[in-house]
């Protein structure tokens, strides 16, 4: 679960997903460490903290996001660090060190290390990372209460760095309702293809209400980010089949995408969602069957 969440996650999420005892065993085995602020991380993520201390540098970008317990789509390799302008640090294996303006209000102590504040981290990532990566971090910061839309907007108004348009795009589409980075990546693929869907939409069916990952009142199409951990047993399969059939029975068109789809074939995902959405808006079948990287 930690790997799917980008390397770190709050205790409550881990307890619901894998159970307290499994988490305790992972800590005892050294695979997972306590990263502070009720957050647990893979040991490889915690290693970035040690490198930060050795360099006298600040955790920056995705490394800062992980330190705060935000979810990321890809863990950074090498570790992303920053130093204030005028300070020279010799290059270190396993680290990328950039020079940035680092005013005191933009810095937070996370355990024994220093990282850019959650608000600064979201803005840095929004300006520097691909849209899907940045959206996952912004969604996570809002979901965990680490940042607010108002605080991000105020900080963005005084932003002096580059790529304001990329940053603006993330701020316009970030949403605290997104359940996890996996879902944020799926939403980013849809947005990049011109399809706007909202997260965690509640749909009433004959079998009761269901909450779908992404949906809209404007189209019958809903999209689901299917994680393997939720489909590992007979009861899970039964529950999933019931859910799927009830949604179809209610007139919904359900598109399901795997972790591998989102991580490696996002453009194809967006094209599928856009084509199916367009087809159902025109009440016709999809025009291009059998295309895409997974066609026979």
Domain boundary among 128, 147, 176: 176
Give the pLDDT score at 51: 75
Note the pLDDT tens digit of each residue in 112-144: 788 999 999 999 999 999 999 999 999 999 999
Domain boundary among 176, 196, 224: 176
98 shares a domain with 17: yes
Task: Specify the long-range contacts of residues 204-209, CB closer than 8 Å, at least 24 apart.
Answer: 204/250, 205/246, 205/247, 205/249, 205/250, 206/246, 206/249, 206/250, 207/242, 207/246, 207/249, 208/246
- C-alpha span between 99 and 87 (Å, rounded): 8
- C-alpha span between 145 and 152 (Å, rounded): 12
- C-alpha span between 221 and 223 (Å, rounded): 7
199 shares a domain with 77: no
115 shares a domain with 26: yes
146 shares a domain with 27: yes
46 shares a domain with 159: yes
Tell me whether residue 289 is in a domain: no
129 shares a domain with 20: yes
Tell me whether residue 296 is in a domain: no
DSSP 71: -
204 shares a domain with 101: no
Note the pLDDT tens digit of each residue in 43-86: 555 667 677 877 789 999 999 998 898 989 988 888 999 999 88
Give the pLDDT score at 43: 59
Range of the domain at 223: 184-281
Report the Cα–Cα distance between both ends of the chain, in Å, rounded: 31
Tell me whether residue 292 is in a domain: no
DSSP 37: T
Domain boundary among 176, 198, 233: 176
Give the pLDDT score at 82: 93
36 shares a domain with 163: yes
Strands 79-84 and 58-59 turn out to be: antiparallel
What does the pLDDT profile of the chain (296 residues) look like in tens digits? 555 554 556 667 766 767 777 777 766 665 666 655 566 666 555 667 677 877 789 999 999 998 898 989 988 888 999 999 888 888 888 888 999 999 999 999 887 788 999 999 999 999 999 999 999 999 999 999 999 999 999 999 999 888 999 999 999 999 999 999 999 999 999 999 999 999 999 999 999 999 999 999 999 999 999 875 545 567 888 888 999 999 999 999 999 999 999 999 999 999 999 999 999 887 644 444 444 444 33
Q: What's the total number of domains in the chain? A: 2
151 shares a domain with 189: no
162 shares a domain with 64: yes
Query: Which distant-in-sequence residues (6+ apart) come within 8 Å of 222 by Cβ?
Result: 197, 201, 203, 212, 213, 214, 215, 247, 252, 253, 254, 255
172 shares a domain with 191: no
């Amino acid at each position: 679960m930690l790997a799917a969440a980008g390397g770190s996650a709050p205790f409550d999420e881990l307890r619901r997903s894998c159970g307290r005892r499994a988490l305790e065993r992972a800590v005892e085995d050294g695979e997972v460490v306590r990263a502070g602020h009720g957050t647990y991380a893979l040991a490889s993520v915690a290693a970035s903290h040690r490198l930060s201390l050795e360099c006298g540098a600040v955790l920056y970008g995705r490394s800062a996001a992980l330190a705060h317990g935000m979810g990321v789509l890809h863990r950074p390799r090498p570790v992303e660090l920053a130093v204030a302008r005028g300070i020279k640090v010799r290059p270190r294996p396993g680290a990328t060190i950039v020079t940035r303006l680092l005013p005191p209000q933009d810095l937070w102590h996370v355990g024994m290390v220093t990282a850019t504040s959650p608000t600064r981290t979201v803005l840095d990532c929004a300006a520097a990372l691909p849209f899907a990566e940045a959206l996952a971090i912004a969604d996570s910061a809002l979901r965990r209460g680490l940042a607010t839309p108002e605080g991000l907007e105020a900080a963005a108004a005084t932003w002096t760095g580059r790529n304001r348009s990329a940053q603006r795009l993330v701020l316009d589409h970030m949403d605290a309702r997104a359940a996890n980075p996996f879902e944020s990546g799926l939403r980013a693929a849809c947005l990049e293809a011109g399809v706007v869907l909202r997260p965690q939409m509640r749909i009433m069916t004959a079998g009761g209400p269901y909450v779908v990952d992404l949906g809209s009142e404007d189209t019958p199409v809903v999209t689901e980010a299917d994680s393997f951990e939720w489909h590992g047993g007979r009861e899970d399969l039964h529950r999933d089949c019931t859910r799927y059939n009830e949604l179809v029975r209610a007139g919904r068109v359900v598109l399901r995408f795997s972790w591998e789809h989102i991580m490696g074939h996002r453009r194809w995902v967006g094209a599928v969602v856009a084509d199916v959405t367009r087809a159902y808006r025109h009440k016709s079948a999809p025009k291009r069957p059998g295309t895409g990287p997974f066609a026979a």
